[in-house]
Structure 1
Amino acid sequence: MTLLNDQVAIVTGGAQGIGLSIARTFVDHGAKVVLGDLNIEAAQAAAAELGDAAFAVRCDVTSESDVRGLVASAVERFGALDIMVNNAGITRDATMRKMELDDFRLVLDIHLTGTWLGTREAAAVMRPRGSGSIINISSISGKVGNLGQTNYSAAKAGIVGMTKAAAKEVARDGVRVNAIQPGLIRTAMTEAMPQKAWDAKMAEIPMDRAGEPAEVGSVATFLASDLSSYMTGTVLEVTGGRYM
């Protein structure tokens, strides 16, 4: 079954990890996908892997002109924009005593400003058409907070509030805005953490395993499709039961 036939999607931070997995799942379900990423070489390699249904655009999500250009590229290439996934993000972990102000601001800017710009620019295209699905990638860290992540947890919590506010603004125009909060997902970034930290997180998961990126991709596909047509302003946790 293909859920996204002839739909056009943008995925920011789509060159690797969860973003690439979301893009891959969308393509598997019949969508055409634009990968927006600061690392254009990695994004182009990812697009080549996905085939003719994907192409890459260099995008700094903190740049208004870059995000506007990303949306315009999707419309120019494929004729529409049906789905926007605001996924791009970074970490700059440190305790408050050691964290530099620049690292606090950078994480908020990429996650929060980037998501706001993506939501605003996508909605501007979707509202006149009377339909569209915007999916913002938060984190379980935005629900509970993590030691050494005052910047990241604040940004991811902010994405939840932004999602709900934006959903109220655009609902009458047929545009839906929802968020996903992944937990411990097996990616290159998480697998690089010290074994002690990995084991501590695993101990908090009732399902007793880490999630796979494709499992986030499946939830994103659900939110992108008509299966979730009466859902907006919601936050779906993909955590294996952690922190429920």
Structure 2
Amino acid sequence: MTIESYPAQSPYRAAGLLEDKVAVITGVGAAETIGAVTAALFVQEGAQVLAADISGAQKETAVALGTAAAPFQVDITREDEVEAMFAQAVETFGRVDILVNMAGTPGGRRGEEVTVEEYESLTSVHLLGTLLTNKHAVRVMAPAGGAIVNFSSAASFNIDKLNSPAYSAAKSGINSLTKSFAAHYGARGIRVNAVAPGFTLSKKNQRVPAEYLKELTGKAALGRAGEPEEQAHVAAFLASDRASYVTGVVVPVDGGWTVKLA
């Protein structure tokens, strides 16, 4: 499903969940990633979006989404760039109501032993990047309040032999940061939650070898992989006013993978 075709092909009708909201979404990537589909859904639900990524693909995403979106190139491991990202969102749209942070790097095993390079590569983006984006989101949201949705992973709850131990640890750290920011900034009207996806058929994952694909899809209680829009809809709910009394939670969107402890 391409970004342009998303509204027409989606089985869900827009409900205006995010009408008049301004969202910064990191990790938008190219078409058919969870990030790009989330950005498309947010626009469909009435939000204006700063579509941010390190790859350059954010330009393609923003063009596809029209005047409600603007691109921004960012390395979320660099605090000066994160600060500039939020400044750009305020300059372009007037304020920031929502952060959806899903920028990350692939978490597959890179060898029998975890190297320092592997550890630093994974934790710098997933853990440090989450800390920096949340920190600066809080700065621009206060005192009006807002909502932050971080993306961790089903791998944050259980161990999978295909994932790097550093990846699982970093994703568990995202859960902890989510709860900490929720506790520290709830009094300012800022809600912080996380989505923990199971195996999802993003464009990248569609290229997984057939034998691994069968194994990964079979882990879910529902017996199938997730679709990017199924992650995006949970993020949209958590970011919306309909989740006004929900904060500090991590929602597994994994088809029942974690409930099986697989």
TM range (shorter): over 0.9
Separation (CA, whole Å) in 2 of partners of 1:236 and 1:92: 20
Aligned alpha-carbon RMSD (Å): 1.2
The equivalent of 1:132 in structure 2 is 146
The equivalent of 2:156 in structure 1 is 142
Name the count of aligned residue pairs: 242
Contact 1:112 1:156 in 2 (8 A): yes
The equivalent of 2:29 in structure 1 is 15
Q: How big is each residue's C-alpha offset from its partner over 1:112-153, in whole Å with a ceiling of 9 and x where there is no partner? A: 000110000000111222x10000000001110222411111
1:105-124 matched pairs, under 5 angstroms: 105-124=120-139
Separation (CA, whole Å) in 2 of partners of 1:169 and 1:100: 34
Question: Which deviates more from structure 2 when the two are superposed, residues 111-120 or residues 234-243?
Answer: 234-243
Separation (CA, whole Å) in 2 of partners of 1:126 and 1:192: 39
Contact 1:92 1:103 in 2 (8 A): no
Contact 1:96 1:150 in 2 (8 A): no
Structure 2: unaligned runs, 5 residues or longer: 1-14
Structure 1 moving runs of 4+ over 6 Å:
none
Contact 2:218 2:224 in 1 (8 A): no
State the secondary structure of the residue aligned to 1:49. helix
* 1:21 Cα deviation after fit: 1.1
Contact 2:99 2:137 in 1 (8 A): yes
Contact 1:127 1:173 in 2 (8 A): yes
State the secondary structure of the residue aligned to 2:204. helix
Q: How big is each residue's C-alpha offset from its partner over 1:145-169, in whole Å with a ceiling of 9 and x where there is no partner? A: 2224111111111000110011000
1:223-242 matched pairs, under 5 angstroms: 223-242=238-257
Contact 1:94 1:149 in 2 (8 A): yes
- TM-score between both structures, scaled by the size of structure 2: 0.89
Separation (CA, whole Å) in 1 of partners of 2:195 and 2:107: 21
* 1:93 Cα deviation after fit: 2.7
1:88-107 matched pairs, under 5 angstroms: 88-94=103-109, 97-107=112-122
Q: Percent identity?
A: 38
Letter in 1 for 2:156: G
Separation (CA, whole Å) in 1 of partners of 2:243 and 2:143: 21
